[in-house]
Structure 1
Amino acid sequence: MAGCTSTTSAGAGGSEIRLVSEGKLTVCTHLPYEPFQFKKSGKIVGFDVDVMDLVAEELKVEQKIVDTPWEGIQSGEDLNANKCDAAAAGMTINDVRRKNLDFSAPYFDATQALLVKKGATYASLKDLKGRKLGVQASTTGEEYARKKAPDGVELVQFEDVGLLLTAVRTGQVDAGINDNGVLYDYVKGNPDTRVTAEFDTGEQYGLGVRKGNTALRKKIDQVLKQARADGTYDRIHKKWFGKEPGK
């Protein structure tokens, strides 16, 4: 299999961090997921990109981003196949995914929210009885909707969040559920939509590595801790969300 020959980079405490490509920290993501990772002027940018750049800098390598289907990320398949060293994809830590990959310490707090066209009055899942609710496949938003939406709400599945957001805006579905950070960012550029509700799911994002890749996981945690301590994390957060965390 191509890419299976690993190179090594010195890790913390003398441990060795094995990378799938020499001089590169290869990171899998699933585009688009603005503002975490998306294409702008032909370049992949975003909050997650800046965070993983910190890890790459610490390892003295460059970040290489691979856009890949979401299922391969959350299932751990891409990591196991040496398609990437790490996954940064606005990914909520949960028990199912913990069985497939190892997570860093949490680096972002999130919750689910409801997006509708401006003028629509849907403010809860109950309001959508007899209506269509868009969900992104294999996400915590879809899981929440399947558990909480009452009978009579038709769930319409989309492969990525870009398709979901467009479906809400064009009226293909009556509302969409996804992570609040993504929806609020979308509303900024699309004032004909609005967020009408948040659902307190208490989610936290983690950066993923292959099961047992302790050296890289510890390095990521070390970088995150340092970034929070020296203000770098706050600056990155303000760059992409317009404010520091908690403000």
Structure 2
Amino acid sequence: MNILSTLRKSRTSVAVASAALLALTLTACGDDSGGGGEASAVPEGITLVKSDKLTVCTHLPYKPFQFKEGGKVVGFDVDLLDLLAKQFKVELDVVDIEWAQITSGAAFKAKKCDVGMGAMTITPERQQAIGISTPYMDATQVLLVKADSGIKSLADLKGKKIGVQADTTGKTYAEKNAAANGYTVITFPDLSIQANNVKSGRVDAAINDNGVLYDFVKANPETAVTAEFDTGEQYGFALDKTDPSSVKLLAELDKVLTKAKSEGTYNEIFKKWFGVEPKK
């Protein structure tokens, strides 16, 4: 073999090696770019229903907590859980199902989702069935009526009909006070149907959470909230309480919520959806 041939082979080997090194460098750069190919940062011990998504179950609509806008689900709860999705470097995927599947824990047992959202009041019964995050918002029940109805309290509903939403604390509150005030309880499957039946006159009033009914009144000035009931409620997010992966996921979610409040991110999201800063 002559010297010229040896030099040619050496140059070829160097070129191949350089090309391979460049390819590896570009691949590594691509992993750190934060683009679509970015690897997730899900902590060890947590297995998501879909590896590249944080899957969240809810029952739509429940504006301004979660509702569809331009084909996309948006809202206060959505933005809070998106903080967790971003920390994990995965997408947030929302699944619309029956509310009872979330509060009973059936949705988690069936691996339909990782977390449940929906301005869910923390109750002893729900704590028995599911894992619940640290409280992220205070709430109460309110009375929705037509603005010109003259109805100011539950006592004014004697002989009338009051609408409630299935599987909610508002339904529980209305039923507990029905006998004392002489009204009939009519159950609806979701908030939108419930509130619009007040507008149409099918029912004379409705009870639901303050956040959603005050939001409804803003868009429907022919209605009004005329009473608040101090129920001392707090909202939490739902998870499976028995699965080790979900227990670790709950711990991560609690950390994210605590951090959001301490750094002011929570206040920004709250003002975005409610127009005011949260009460101290």
Separation (CA, whole Å) in 2 of partners of 1:21 and 1:82? 10
Separation (CA, whole Å) in 2 of partners of 1:79 and 1:108? 23
Note if contact 2:41-2:87 (Cα within 8 Å) is conserved in structure 1. no
Separation (CA, whole Å) in 2 of partners of 1:172 and 1:90? 26
Identical positions, percent: 54
2:83 equivalent to 1:50: no
Deviations 1:117-152 (A, max 9, x none): 111121211110100000001110010111123252
Query: Structure 1 residue runs of 4+, over 3 Å off?
Result: none
2:202 equivalent to 1:172: yes
Q: Which has the larger radius of gyration?
A: 2
Kindly state the Cα deviation for residue 71 of structure 1 after the two structures are TM-superposed: 1.1
Note if contact 1:9-1:18 (Cα within 8 Å) is conserved in structure 2. no
- Structure 1 window deviating more from structure 2 (145-154 vs 134-143): it is 145-154
Separation (CA, whole Å) in 2 of partners of 1:235 and 1:29? 23
Shift in alpha-carbon separation, 1:9–1:101, aligned structure 2, 3 A: farther
Name the Cα RMSD after superposition.
Answer: 1.2
2:255 equivalent to 1:242: no
Amino acid of the residue matched to residue 79 of structure 1?
Answer: F
Note if contact 2:42-2:89 (Cα within 8 Å) is conserved in structure 1. no
Q: Could you say what secondary structure the match of 1:178 adopts?
A: strand
Instruction: Decide which structure has greater helix share.
Output: 2
Deviations 1:180-235 (A, max 9, x none): 00000000010000000000000000001111321010000000000001110000
Partner residue, 2:253: 220
Kindly state the Cα deviation for residue 10 of structure 1 after the two structures are TM-superposed: 3.7
Kindly state the Cα deviation for residue 87 of structure 1 after the two structures are TM-superposed: 0.3
Match of residue 19, structure 1, among 41, 48, 64: 48
Partner residue, 1:210: 240
Instruction: Specify every segment of 5 or more residues in structure 2 that has no aligned partner in the other structure, as ranges.
Output: 1-39
Q: Could you say what secondary structure the match of 1:91 adopts?
A: strand
Q: How many residues align?
A: 237
Q: Could you say what secondary structure the match of 2:121 adopts?
A: coil
2:130 equivalent to 1:101: yes
Note if contact 1:39-1:45 (Cα within 8 Å) is conserved in structure 2. yes
When normalised by structure 1's length, the TM-score is: 0.93
2:136 equivalent to 1:83: no
Note if contact 2:147-2:222 (Cα within 8 Å) is conserved in structure 1. yes
Partner residue, 1:30: 59
Kindly state the Cα deviation for residue 99 of structure 1 after the two structures are TM-superposed: 1.3
Separation (CA, whole Å) in 1 of partners of 2:181 and 2:249? 45
When normalised by structure 2's length, the TM-score is: 0.83
